[in-house]
Chains A and B, each alone.
Chain A
Amino acid sequence: MSPPETEPHNRDISLLKRAFAGTLSGLNSLGTAWILGLMVLINVDVGARYLFSAPINGVTEFVELSIVGIVFLQLGDAVKAGRLTRSDGLYSMLLTRRPKLGHALGLAFELSGVLFVGLILYGGVPLLIETYQRGYFAGNQGLFVFPLWPVRLILVVGCFVVAVQFLIFAWQHVAVLVSSKESE
């Protein structure tokens, strides 16, 4: 099925939307595969240690780095799926009983989210550059070494997509607010 003919501007937007959705699910798949890989790796390490007395070097360090990687790879998709922890009893009641107030509050919440991850990015980007330029690493030199910059890069990319997702949610609240104003 071909997408409906639209104005060039709208087509650009829908292309952007699909690109973003693809990015989110791609990052998420990477994180998901990482979790399964971690499970296998640790089992192999345990097996090698007890069955062959030959533990694998660097598993501990790899697990440490993996956690940050996994979290920030999955965070965007988790936010999109509405899995970020919130206590929504009062808020969902407002959305049904006082929709305008509810959506205005929702808009404020999403923009707070943008601000929060934006602040992490503001400090995170220089941290990434410094980590890359100075070649920081984890592990023991000579045995095994993991460079730290890929994990920092994931942190920056993860926070960026989360910010975009919050902006999309914010825009949806704006759309509801605007259309309710028009219908009056």
Chain B
Amino acid sequence: MSGLEIGIFSVLAILVLIYSGLYVPVALGLVSFIGVWLLRGTLEAPVYLLTLSAANSIEDYVFGVIPLFVLMGLLVSQSEVGRDIYEVANVALRRLRGGLGVATVAANAAFAAITGVSIASAAVFTRLSVPEMMRFGYRPRFAVGVVAGSSVLGMLIPPSVMLIIYALIAEQSVADLFTAGIVPGLLLSLAYSVAIVFMAYVFPDYVGGPDASERAALMQRTMGLMEMTKKLSPVVVLIALVLGGIYGGLFTPTEAGAVGALGALVTALIRRKLDRGRLWAVAVETGHITASILFLIVSATMYSRMLAMSGLPNDLGVWIAQADLGLYGILTIYVLLLIVMGTVLDTTSIILVMVPLFIPVLAPFGINLVWFGIVTIVGAEIGLLTPPLGIACYVIKSTLADDRISLYDIFAGALPFAAIMLLVLILLIVFPSLSLVLV
């Protein structure tokens, strides 16, 4: 077999094995082992690849960002800051039609700016806003759709574990990716909000909403400026510390993670949401998430080294250059692949498999790899909202535990938001400056 064939078979084998349910790192690692074995003809080379990847590939200062930002995110979730943001947003937007929906988006965006784990925000806001929206007459399908749609903001708005993973795989600066996520994140939030208000006016039956008496009850809710300030202050302080610290050049991303985790710890302690047992449980959970993400990165290193040895990315690049598709043609194929894969695989696996394959292909076009990261993440996340395996929808279903709302309702409700994501993605592709303006 030629190197090219070995490369192609490896990628296909990995996809089939992952889809069948083999542990993702095991699939990446073992197939890479066999690939290198076939390419080199001796057992020494692939053993060397596995061992050195395990020992050295994560031995880098920048990988410290993962445990620290995961710890910060879990501590923030523990301190119930999400509830406070949502309450303030509800009061502030109560006069708007579709206001509770827009409040969910706004609170999610603010929450996303202090956490990096998006599954956390899907779970938090399922518990907070779905019951609240249904209490005020919104249709269940619309309510879960809003939560599903806005939960993806967590991976786009910095800090985000997904942006970190891309940065590590593509060897880009974490700080640059964090910066690049801001405008697209805000743009997507804005698009969601506009769409919600639009739907509330044009399809009132689909959206639902408060009737006269419910509206009156909603208007009764007020909150003094002092109370709002008090509720929002932890968010503002954490954003200022972490994102301000990174952009201001005060901290490296790793340091910002540590400072943010300590800030979140102090917040949780002040609000008495944390005792020793819970702190330990949060730290153990952090360890599990860290170990599983970083072990994935170890195996992805094996995979991308195997790919490079096989020469597949280069050959693919030559072949695509001859096909004369142009940048937009290739990106269209890439995004379609991402969306299809996103419907059955999780975002991390997609990034790990696709990015090492496509970066060399796109290199001749002189694309910006930070912008490419934003495109990749938004593209892969559309799949989070689509059947059969949209993970965000499953998290909502399992958190909700309400038989009146079926998985079908959640997917149907999320569909308009997936469509909006696609529109925003097209904008991001056509106008790279949206992602790069602050970088």
Contacts and interface: CB of A to CB of B under 8 A. Distances in A.
B284 A32 contact: yes
A119 B55 contact: no
B22 A86 contact: yes
Contact of B21 (A68, A73, A91): A91
Contact of A42 (B33, B54, B258, B298): B258
A75 B261 contact: no
A46 B54 CA distance: 30
Contact of A85 (B30, B287, B296): B296
Contact of A83 (B30, B61, B71, B288): B288
A115 B37 CA distance: 15
A120 B262 contact: no
Given A32-B286, A67-B60, A159-B54, 11 more contacts: A32-B280, A32-B287, A35-B71, A40-B262, A46-B259, A73-B287, A74-B291, A75-B295, A85-B25, A105-B20, A127-B51
B349 interface: yes
Given A88-B21, A123-B48, A124-B51, A113 B283 contact: no
- Among the interface residues A28, A65, A67, which one has the most CB atoms of the partner chain B within 10 A? A67
Interface in A13-54: 28, 31-33, 35-36, 38-40, 42-43, 45-46, 50
B150 interface: no
Interface residues of A, number: 56
B50 A71 contact: no
A55 to B, nearest CB: 11
A43 B20 contact: no
B290 A35 contact: yes
Nearest to B66: A67
Closest 8 CB pairs of A and B: A91-B21, A123-B51, A42-B258, A74-B291, A74-B287, A78-B291, A123-B47, A78-B288
A67 B294 contact: yes
A96 interface: no
A180 interface: no
B176 interface: no
A152 interface: yes
B410 interface: no
A105 B51 contact: no
B255 interface: yes
A83 B291 contact: yes
Given A43-B258, A87-B21, A124-B54, A71 B295 contact: yes
A152 B52 CA distance: 11
Given A36-B283, A70-B290, A84 B20 contact: no
B254 A42 contact: yes
B300 to A, nearest CB: 11
Contacts of B348: 85
B54 A155 contact: yes
A95 B431 CA distance: 46
B349 A87 contact: yes
Interface of B: 18-26, 29-30, 33, 46-48, 50-52, 54-55, 58-61, 63-64, 66-68, 71, 250-251, 254-255, 258-259, 261-262, 265, 280, 283-284, 286-292, 294-296, 298, 344-346, 348-349, 388-389
A88 B250 CA distance: 42
Contacts of A72: 291
Given A71-B294, A112-B30, A39 B258 contact: yes
A80 B265 CA distance: 28
Determine the main DSSP class of A at the interface with B: helix
A67 B54 contact: no
Nearest to B48: A123
B21 A116 contact: no
Interface string A82-123: 011111111110100000000001000100110110011011
Contacts of A94: 21
Contact of B346 (A66, A74, A75, A87): A87
Given A31-B287, A88-B21, A71 B58 contact: yes
Contact of B295 (A40, A84, A119): A84
Nearest to A109: B22
Given A123-B48, A127-B51, A127-B55, A90 B254 contact: no
A83 B292 contact: yes
B287 A65 contact: no
Contacts of B290: 35, 70-71, 74
A87 B345 contact: yes
Contact of A28 (B20, B55, B284, B389): B284
A71 B66 CA distance: 11
Contacts of B46: 119
